[in-house]
Structure 1
Amino acid sequence: MSGFKSLKKRRRIQVIVLAFAALAVSTAIIGYAMQDGINFFRSPSQVAEEPPSPNERFRIGGLVEEGSLVRGQGETVSFRVTDGGASIPVTYTGILPDLFEEGQGMVGQGNYINGTFEAVEILAKHDETYMPAEVIDALKDQGVYVEPDAAANGGAVTN
Structure 2
Amino acid sequence: MHYSGRALKRLRLMRGIKQSHVAELLGVTQATVSRWETGVLVPAEDQRAALERLFAPPASTADAAIKRLVEASTARVHLICDRSHRLLAASPARRKEWRRDMLGTPMFRYASEGIQRAEAKLQDCGWYHDQTSSIVVETGPNGRDDVPILAGSVLWERVPLSDGAIGRLVTTLT
Range class of TM-score, shorter chain? under 0.3
Greater strand fraction, Structure 1 or Structure 2:
1
Larger helix share, 1 or 2: 2
Q: Which has the larger radius of gyration?
A: 1
